[in-house]
Amino acid sequence: MTTSELTLPQTRKRSRRVMGAGKQLHAGPVTYLVLAVFALISLAPLVWTAIAASRTDRRLAETPPPLWFGGNLFKNMQTAWDEAGLGTAMLNSVIVAGAITISTVLFSTLAGFAFAKLQFRFSGFLLLLTIGTMMIPPQLAVVPLYLWMADLGWSNQLQTVILPTLVTAFGTFFMRQYLVQALPSELIEAARVDGASSLRVVWHVVFPAARPAMAVLGLLTFVFAWNDFLWPIIALNQQNPTVQVALNSLGTGYVPDQAVIMAGALLGTLPLLIAFILFGKQIVGGIMQGAIKG
Amino acid sequence: MTSPKQALAHPASSAEAAPGSQPGAARGAHGGGTPPKGPSPWRSKLYRWDMKASPYVFIAPFFVIFGAFSLVPLLYTAWYSLHDVQLSSLDTQTWAGLDNYQNLLSSDFFWNALKNTFTIGVISTVPQLMAAIGLAHLLNYRLRGSTMWRVVMLTPYATSVAAATLVFTLLYSWDGGMVNWLLDFVGIDPINWRESDWGSQFAVSSIVIWRWTGYNALIYLAAMQAIPADLYESAAIDGANRWQQFIHVTVPQLRPTILFTVVISTIGATQLFGEPLLFGGVSGSKGGSEHQYQTLGLYMYDQGWIIGNLGKASAIAWSMFLILLIIAAINLLVTRRLRKSQ
């Protein structure tokens, strides 16, 4: 299963013997068959995107649709890259998602630590408030944000997209759940007794203890920020798009070439797919841990 | 017991501290001790201030940023929803009272969008969660390459709305589309996925289902692994087969998680935006030529940024919020009922 580094502590105490009750049952051939069907459904659209991207537009309109690769992949990618301005878009997405990830991880760890381990007035209420805000749909903020950013002269600039997402309630809660168990209170006490200031405690005790969870939160945040759609499409125009905005203009624009559109879709997803191949295990672990609520 | 400085600094837990020990070598000790540094009054004042203020400093960035960019805008949106705000003249905002809301309630498109949001929400959420629970059950068996299976099931989650929808749009295209070609094999006439009412809604839902089933399966899997084994053992002793164990042990134990995913998926369904926007192509913000799949999220975008009536868009946003609150209230009632009946 997951490595010990990634096994976040659970909020409920349970022994290893109890864990994974169903695991004692071996999977039979039927299980593998059904799983294979699910896997096929998961992967087929992506594989077919690559097939379609390697063909010509005319070939895609024919029946039957192509089931194997053609020779136009790089030509189509080149066209999509130029037509949708994917170079700028990729760079923008890297900047936006990178900034959001760094700031979310940092601030979530600080706030999560305070909620997990420090005593202060109203902490219970404030934590509840944090969790409650996850219910607020992003649609409720976009009109004022749009007006303010226009006022500041920030329309179509990247900070418009970055600023509102610098922190997330999910991240704060996620780090809190992790640190409640992963960070022994005695460690903090000991540092305190040594006269360490809060900043020293954070630097020398909290960050090292939180590192595995910070990595997972970082990956989840990056995926989320890279794929975010609603606010970027309102805040940015096609001159300065993120990848998602560029893909939207490719799909809704008047580029009639479907093979080129597929090549664009493939390019826009490629960075995340690579990250997924490299860190898929960690992302899976992170989602499973985030699911367990205290 | 402890020095006054320590007691003041952290009265609640000073007894647990082992004075003088290094971080990492801490033991829960109850012995007395001497303060580590000489008692300098300004130092201890600073220290106490640090102890008191630091929690607030640590949570401040979250609350400042979240407040400024989410909570305050929420109130402003309510304010704008009572005003006439046009995209073409942002500086003139005149009081409109409840005009925007009245306008909405008398608009066929609003009710159409509400109905579509509900229909697409149901036909995407119900099958998605049912498939996820079954998938989680399978993933919970002892499997060869269990991590590999999980990663594969989660791959759609890493695909963006934009990329996924572009691909599905092509798969569902009228002629030459993969889906109609496959239907032809089993002798079903081609379906016009973009134009027909239920066909387009089904197509949009299928994109949602594809992207989120694996994600929900992992959430269920995590909860399944927390179910104590003795529940299954005693069920087995009582003669329950695997299917009966699933229905009578697994599902009831998962109830809180199921409620959690229902709430999360409902919130997601209420906000559905990217999939129908891109599925529609050029007429995206209208939700198709006949508004067949215009959701509330799309309707808001269309009214606000295509037509340019930001006051009305604000009213739509608040309507969405109110609907969510009603759903949350119903959810709470149902949960209470379920708890009482147990």
B29-49 per-position pLDDT tens digit: 444 444 455 567 787 788 888
CA angle A269, A73, B192 (to 5 degrees): 70
Residue numbers of A between 212 and 251 with CB closer than 8 Å to B: 223, 226-227, 229-230, 233-234, 243-244, 247-248, 250-251
- More confident call, B316 vs B19: B316
- Pairwise CA distance, residues A33 & A14, whole Å: 32
Asked if the model's pLDDT at residue B12 lies above 50, the reply is no
pLDDT of amino acid B185:
87
Across the range A75-98, mean pLDDT stands at 92
Please list, residue by residue across A38-71, b when 16 or more beta carbons sit within 10 angstroms of its beta carbon and e when fewer do.
bbebbeebbebbebbbbbbbebbeeeebbeeebe
Q: Do B142 and A26 make contact, defined as CB atoms within 8 angstroms?
A: yes
Which of B8, B157, B161, B166 is the mutation pick for testing A, counting most A CBs within 10 A?
Answer: B166
- More confident call, B34 vs A283: A283
pLDDT of amino acid A196:
82
Tell whether A200 is within 8 A of chain B (Cβ). Answer: no
pLDDT band at residue B256, thresholds of 50, 70 and 90?
confident
Strand, coil or helix: B233: helix
Q: Which of B242, B262, B168, B141 is nearest to A34 (CA)?
A: B141
- Pairwise CA distance, residues A35 & A24, whole Å: 18
Residues of B whose CB is below 8 A from A174: none
Q: Quick one: DSSP state of residue B142? A: B
- B200 to chain A, closest Cα gap in Å: 17
Spatial contact of A220 and A283, defined as CB atoms under 8 Å apart? yes
Q: Quick one: DSSP state of residue A72? A: -
Asked if the model's pLDDT at residue A21 lies above 60, the reply is no
What does the pLDDT look like over B40-91, one tens digit per residue?
A: 778 778 888 888 888 999 999 999 999 999 899 999 999 999 999 888 887 7
The proportion of chain B whose per-residue pLDDT surpasses 90, expressed as a percent, equals 43
Asked if the model's pLDDT at residue A109 lies above 50, the reply is yes
Q: Do A272 and B159 make contact, defined as CB atoms within 8 angstroms?
A: yes
Across the range B10-17, mean pLDDT stands at 39
Q: Do A115 and B278 make contact, defined as CB atoms within 8 angstroms?
A: no
What does the pLDDT look like over B218-241, one tens digit per residue?
A: 999 999 988 888 888 888 888 888
Q: Do B167 and A283 make contact, defined as CB atoms within 8 angstroms?
A: no
- A113 to chain B, closest Cα gap in Å: 8
pLDDT of amino acid B28:
39
Spatial contact of A162 and A145, defined as CB atoms under 8 Å apart? no
Q: Do A189 and B16 make contact, defined as CB atoms within 8 angstroms?
A: yes
Question: How many CB atoms are closer than 10 A to CB B144?
Answer: 9
CA angle B30, B31, B33 (to 5 degrees): 130
The least confident of A92-96, A250-254, B160-164, B308-312 is: A250-254
Tell whether A274 is within 8 A of chain B (Cβ). Answer: no
- B341 to chain A, closest Cα gap in Å: 23
pLDDT band at residue A226, thresholds of 50, 70 and 90?
very high
Tell whether A293 is within 8 A of chain B (Cβ). Answer: yes
The whole-angstrom distance between residue B45's C-alpha and the CA centroid of its chain comes to 45
**pTM: predicted TM-score of the whole model, two decimal places:** 0.85
pLDDT band at residue A99, thresholds of 50, 70 and 90?
very high
Q: Do A185 and B13 make contact, defined as CB atoms within 8 angstroms?
A: yes
- A219 to chain B, closest Cα gap in Å: 11
- B223 to chain A, closest Cα gap in Å: 7
- More confident call, A268 vs B17: A268
- pLDDT averaged over every residue in chain A: 85
Q: Which of A35, A140, A292 sits opposite B222 (nearest CB)?
A: A292
Question: How many CB atoms are closer than 10 A to CB B76?
Answer: 18
pLDDT of amino acid B7:
37
- Pairwise CA distance, residues B272 & B265, whole Å: 10
pLDDT band at residue B13, thresholds of 50, 70 and 90?
very low
Q: Do A229 and B162 make contact, defined as CB atoms within 8 angstroms?
A: yes
What does the pLDDT look like over B182-192, one tens digit per residue?
A: 888 888 888 88
Q: Which of B162, B137, B173, B138 is nearest to B258 (CA)?
A: B137
Could you please report the per-residue DSSP string of B85-116?
EETTEEEEEEE-TTHHHHHHHT-HHHHHHHHH
As to burial, measured by CB atoms within 10 angstroms (0-12 exposed, 13-18 middle, 19+ buried), residue A178 is buried
Asked if the model's pLDDT at residue B134 lies above 90, the reply is yes
Q: Which of A2, A65, A51, A205 is nearest to B178 (CA)?
A: A65
Tell whether A24 is within 8 A of chain B (Cβ). Answer: yes
Spatial contact of B183 and B191, defined as CB atoms under 8 Å apart? yes
Which residues on adjacent β-strands are paired with residue B89? B86
Strand, coil or helix: A65: coil
Asked if the model's pLDDT at residue A94 lies above 60, the reply is yes
pLDDT of amino acid B206:
96
Spatial contact of B168 and B206, defined as CB atoms under 8 Å apart? yes
pLDDT band at residue A213, thresholds of 50, 70 and 90?
very high
Residues of A whose CB is below 8 A from B25: 190
Measured between CA atoms, the residue of chain A closest to residue B62 is: A167
Q: Do A21 and B65 make contact, defined as CB atoms within 8 angstroms?
A: no
Q: Quick one: DSSP state of residue A22? A: G
pLDDT band at residue A24, thresholds of 50, 70 and 90?
low
- Say which residue the tokens 């990329």 belong to: B163
Q: B150 vs B50, B110, B215, CA distance in Å?
A: 45, 40, 9
Spatial contact of A250 and A239, defined as CB atoms under 8 Å apart? no
pLDDT of amino acid A211:
92
The least confident of A84-93, A166-175, B24-33, B59-68 is: B24-33
CA dihedral A191, A195, A199, A205 (to 10 degrees): -10
Q: B288 vs A262, B110, B194, B200, B277, CA distance in Å?
A: 21, 15, 7, 9, 9
- More confident call, B259 vs A125: A125
Q: Do A193 and B21 make contact, defined as CB atoms within 8 angstroms?
A: yes
Which of A143, A238, A267 is the mutation pick for testing B, counting most B CBs within 10 A?
Answer: A143
Residues of A whose CB is below 8 A from B231: 21
pLDDT of amino acid B116:
95
B39: preceding bond cis by omega (within 30 degrees) = no
Measured between CA atoms, the residue of chain B closest to residue A270 is: B159
Non-local CB neighbours of B342 within 8 Å, separated by 6+ positions: none
Asked if the model's pLDDT at residue A14 lies above 70, the reply is no
Spatial contact of B153 and A42, defined as CB atoms under 8 Å apart? yes
Asked if the model's pLDDT at residue B307 lies above 80, the reply is yes
